[in-house]
């Protein structure tokens, strides 16, 4: 399958309907984008873990156990 899309002034791209249909992409689905040289690869995120790495982690927080990350998030947001 081959398709053409245009990037808008806001950096948005509309995927052609045939591509969305063939990949089973629906409104609200998340896509994982990966740079490969001068192109990018897009695929439908299969689940939450596919999104790992999509949010930058501050250098002083990398490698912390999940329980510590949750404690910190609750403390910052003021919820238990």
Q: Does the pTM of the predicted model rise above 0.85?
A: no
Structural domain range at position 37: 17-77
Residue 4 lies in a domain: no
pLDDT at 57 over 80: no
60: left (phi over 0), alpha (psi -120 to 50) or beta: alpha
DSSP, res 51:
G
Q: Write the pLDDT tens digit of every residue in 15-35.
A: 999 988 988 899 988 888 888
Q: Both tokens of residue 23?
A: 């990949």
Residue 43 lies in a domain: yes
Tally the domains of the chain.
Answer: 1
Contacts of 72 (CB under 8 A, 6+ apart): 61
């Amino acid at each position: 399958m081959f398709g053409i899309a245009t990037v808008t002034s806001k950096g948005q791209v509309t995927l052609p309907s045939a591509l969305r249909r063939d990949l089973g992409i629906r409104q609200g689905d998340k896509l994982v984008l990966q740079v490969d040289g001068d192109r990018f690869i897009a695929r439908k995120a299969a689940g939450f873990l596919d999104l790992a790495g999509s949010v930058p982690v501050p250098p002083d927080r990398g490698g912390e156990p999940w329980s510590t990350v949750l404690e910190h998030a609750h403390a910052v947001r003021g919820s238990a």
